Amino acid sequence: MNDATDWRPAADLETLRWRAQRIAGIRAFFAERGVWEVETPMLSRAAATDPALHSLRSEVAVPAPHHRYWHTSPEFPMKRLLAAGSGPIYQICRVFRDGELGRLHSPEFTLLEWYRPGFDEHALMDEVAGLLGAVLGRTVRDERITYRDAFLRHAGLDPMTADPAHCRRCCLDRGICPDPGATGDRDFWLDLLMSHVVGPALGRGEPCFVFDYPPSQAALARIRPGPPAVAARFELYLNGVELANGFHELTDPAEQAGRFRAELARRRQLGLALPPVDERLLAAMQAGLPDCSGVAVGVDRLLMVVAGVARLERVLPFAFDRS
């Protein structure tokens, strides 16, 4: 891996200067709208319980308990600020997710996350489109499509009713060959199809928002009862790359506690680490998290797509392999 030139950035300096200007532009975008910048701890006592997220852990000398978890997103402390009455806030920070490394993944990356009290997810999608316009330097004509319609259009199946056998056949028809050991429940197959088939087809030229997710994929979004019930969650795609994930946030502390328990049970089943639940988030929600929507944008990916390059390392001073 080591060669005589790997002390140098893989990205050219012109791109890195352009990156700095785009990030200054993002800060100006929020300053203009009265959304203020906050900084929350990167090292946390608690960690995300989402079974698909793997937190890095460090030892600290003082005080006990000695473990701190590197945040996978600043979501929980930002919600504590919202509950404390902060009003609209944003943060640009490095976050850490173990086990994720590839063309579009790095164990550490830059996240832009913001929260808007009083917004539902559609109002927040409008603002995300506005931010994209500011970064791209043009007006965007975004497309909006429900999760169900995106699957009907690009995979030819109904994600709310398809069974695993049907999903598997859909993969094979499209030249995707899941290993016999790669199998699971409906959400497993929907994740496979979303990442291999549906997602790559979305947002060609103009951004595309996917919304109304299956309730089983709500994460931290509230569930709208329906029928049919849907999770008030959205994702943003541009040129087939997923750039953002947003929620009309769940505010019910009892339901939040229930989701934490369910995720921990799932982690136990999978033999994953069982990190401490963020009790301070639950206390803040008990005190009252205002009705709000929030979104997290992968800044490195966004700049990668806008710059028209294929790998994260082309827009980073030093990618993970040169750290």
Partner 1 sequence: MASYSTSEFKAGLKIMLDGAPCAIVENEFVKPGKGQAFNRVKVRNLRTGRVVERTFKSGDTVEAADVLELELQYLYADGEFWHFMDPGSFEQYAASKEAVGEAAQWLKEQDMCQVTLWDGAPLTVSAPSFVTLRITETDPGVRGDTSSGGSKPATLETGAVVRVPLFIEEGERIKVDTRTGEYVGRGKE
Residue number, 184 or 258, with CB nearest to partner 1: 184
Under the binding rule (CB under 8 A), the answer on residue 100 touching partner 1 is: yes
Binding partner 1 by CB under 8 A: which of 38, 42, 45, 50? Answer: 50
Give the tokens for residue 278: 């963020």
Stretch that binds partner 1, among 80-88, 99-107, 158-166, 276-284 (CB under 8 A): 99-107
Under the binding rule (CB under 8 A), the answer on residue 196 touching partner 1 is: yes
Residue 277, number of CB atoms within 10 A of its CB: 18
Least distance between partner 1 and beta carbon 220 (Å): 9
Preceding omega of 207 cis (within 30 degrees of 0)? no
Binding partner 1 by CB under 8 A: which of 16, 28, 31, 182? Answer: 182
Give the tokens for residue 16: 């890195």
For residues 48 and 220, the answer to whether their CB atoms sit within 8 Å is: no
Residue number, 174 or 280, with CB nearest to partner 1: 174
Enumerate residues 18-47 that contact partner 1 by CB under 8 A: none
Under the binding rule (CB under 8 A), the answer on residue 286 touching partner 1 is: no
The three-class DSSP label of residue 93 is strand
Binding partner 1 by CB under 8 A: which of 47, 140, 194, 299? Answer: 194
Q: SS3 sequence, 226-287? A: CCCCEEEEEEEEECCEEEEEEEEECCCHHHHHHHHHHHHHHHHHHCCCCCCCCHHHHHHHHH
Binding partner 1 by CB under 8 A: which of 24, 31, 94, 99? Answer: 99
Give the tokens for residue 190: 């929907």
Binding partner 1 by CB under 8 A: which of 77, 159, 199, 214? Answer: 199
CA distance 249 to 151: 24
For 83-113, b/e burial (b = at least 16 CB within 10 A) is beebebbbbbbebbbeebeeebebbbbbbbb
Residue that the structure tokens 């402390």 belong to: 77
CA distance 155 to 179: 19
Contact flags string 103-132 toward partner 1, x per CB under 8 A: xxx---------------------------
Under the binding rule (CB under 8 A), the answer on residue 177 touching partner 1 is: yes
Under the binding rule (CB under 8 A), the answer on residue 3 touching partner 1 is: no
Under the binding rule (CB under 8 A), the answer on residue 85 touching partner 1 is: no
Stretch that binds partner 1, among 4-12, 95-103, 201-209, 309-317 (CB under 8 A): 95-103
Least distance between partner 1 and beta carbon 266 (Å): 12
Contact flags string 220-259 toward partner 1, x per CB under 8 A: ---------------x------x--x--------------
How far apart, in Å, are the Cα atoms of 132 and each of 29, 185, 304, 305? 10, 35, 13, 11
Residue number, 68 or 147, with CB nearest to partner 1: 147
For residues 213 and 231, the answer to whether their CB atoms sit within 8 Å is: yes
Give the tokens for residue 242: 């997923």
Under the binding rule (CB under 8 A), the answer on residue 171 touching partner 1 is: yes
Q: Which residues bind partner 1 (CB under 8 A)?
A: 50, 52, 99-105, 171, 175-179, 181-184, 187-188, 191-192, 194-196, 199, 217, 219, 235, 242, 245
